[in-house]
């Protein structure tokens, strides 16, 4: 029997006709949803206007609280939100860096600042009391959860030092949740006093959490936790006019990534943060995810391509990640051994 005769025999039965119609409808649905996702991706990245921060109370005396604010992405969030007219509460570990940044912000952008210095890895009650006292009575509308820690180099899970493991989970998860619990009631109070504005909570995610990442297992798990927590919080707070969003990034030049030179796939902190704050409410490359944004255009295209081909959780993606980080670990260990030998000489 030829293929044509086979399909002809199938379509002569009601079951065969139903299966054929169902297959066509599913195909049309898949093509339609994919096409709409592509259109949305292009609009989010290249066409839609930048987010207007007047809805979050910019230039009206309102405040943004930023964690991990003294360097890298946190510093850029502080500078760029100040440029939009928000007063800034700077939270980080090093008092001297915070003081310099606060002076710079106040002189350049003519806004007010407050600084709070503590080591997030200690997770002491005093830390959250400092935040609570500093923002008491302030009209806070924005919280940027940027504080975080990764592994010093890619490492097998079983070889991960206990302190590094504990610090990663404490800083990335527990401290982020406790700071949000401290700041959120103040945001709610601000919105109750001014019904015309909205609140905003941005939390920094990572491709390390988007993709299950071997040799960064603890960090990967901690960032994946933030994905579900942030999305759940987004649904919970939407009726109260508080926008919650997880911001995903691939590599960015920073102290954490140990990458100094930007490239097509690795922007500097300034350009990444610009893309993030200008696209709040969009999804970028995270078209398949609620309350999530992959804002930088090359990261977005990478995210979208993998999600719509082999899949985020596929064995292929996992294996590629495994091989990449195993190679990075080998190079890092060779470099460490070379530097140790040079010191001996």
Nearest residue to 298 via CA among 285, 283, 316, 307: 285
d(CA 88, CA 250): 26
> Of 102, 117, 59, nearest to 83 (Cα)?
59
Rg (CA), the chain: 24
Q: Does the annotation count 219 as an active-site position?
A: yes
Q: SS3 of 145, please?
A: strand
Is 206 within any annotated ligand binding site? yes
Which residues are bridge partners to 145 per DSSP? 203
- The H or E element containing residue 209 is helix 207-210
* DSSP assignments along 93-120, one per residue: S-HHHHHHHHHHHHHHH---EEEEE--G
Rounded Cα distance, 70 and 92, in Å: 6
Please identify which of the residues 77, 109, 215, 219 carries the catalytic annotation: 219
Cβ atoms 323, 211 nearer than 8 A? no
Give the residue numbers annotated as catalytic, written as ranges. 219
Binding site as annotated, residues for substrate: 206
């Amino acid at each position: 029997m030829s293929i044509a005769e086979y399909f002809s025999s199938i379509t002569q039965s009601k079951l065969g006709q139903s299966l054929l119609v169902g297959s066509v409808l599913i195909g049309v649905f898949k093509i339609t949803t994919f096409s709409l996702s592509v259109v949305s991706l292009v609009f989010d990245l290249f066409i839609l206007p930048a987010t207007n921060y007047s809805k979050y109370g910019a230039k009206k005396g309102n405040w943004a609280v930023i964690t991990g604010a003294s360097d890298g992405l946190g510093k850029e969030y502080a500078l760029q939100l100040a440029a939009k007219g928000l007063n800034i509460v700077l939270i980080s570990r090093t008092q001297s860096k915070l003081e310099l940044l606060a002076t710079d912000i106040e002189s350049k952008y003519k806004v007010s600042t407050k600084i709070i210095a503590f080591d997030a890895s200690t997770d002491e009650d005093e830390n959250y009391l400092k935040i609570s006292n500093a923002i008491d009575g302030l009209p806070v509308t924005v919280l940027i959860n940027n504080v975080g820690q990764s592994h010093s180099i890619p490492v097998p899970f079983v070889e991960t030092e206990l302190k590094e493991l504990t610090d990663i989970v404490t800083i990335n998860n527990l401290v982020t949740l406790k700071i949000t619990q401290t700041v959120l009631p103040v945001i709610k109070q601000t919105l109750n006093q001014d019904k015309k504005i909205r609140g905003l909570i941005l939390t920094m995610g990572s491709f390390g959490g988007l993709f299950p990442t071997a040799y960064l297992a603890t960090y990967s798990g901690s960032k994946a936790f933030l994905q579900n927590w942030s999305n759940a919080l987004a649904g919970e707070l939407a009726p109260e006019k508080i926008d919650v969003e997880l911001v995903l990034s691939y590599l960015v030049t920073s102290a954490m990534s140990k990458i100094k030179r930007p490239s097509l796939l690795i922007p500097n902190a300034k350009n990444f943060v610009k893309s993030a704050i200008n696209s709040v409410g969009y999804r970028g490359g995270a078209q398949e995810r609620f309350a999530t944004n992959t804002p930088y255009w090359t990261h977005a295209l990478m995210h979208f391509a993998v999600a719509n081909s082999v899949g985020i959780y596929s064995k292929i993606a996992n294996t590629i990640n495994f091989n990449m980080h195993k190679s990075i670990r080998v190079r890092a260990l060779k470099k460490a051994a070379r530097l140790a030998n040079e010191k001996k000489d």
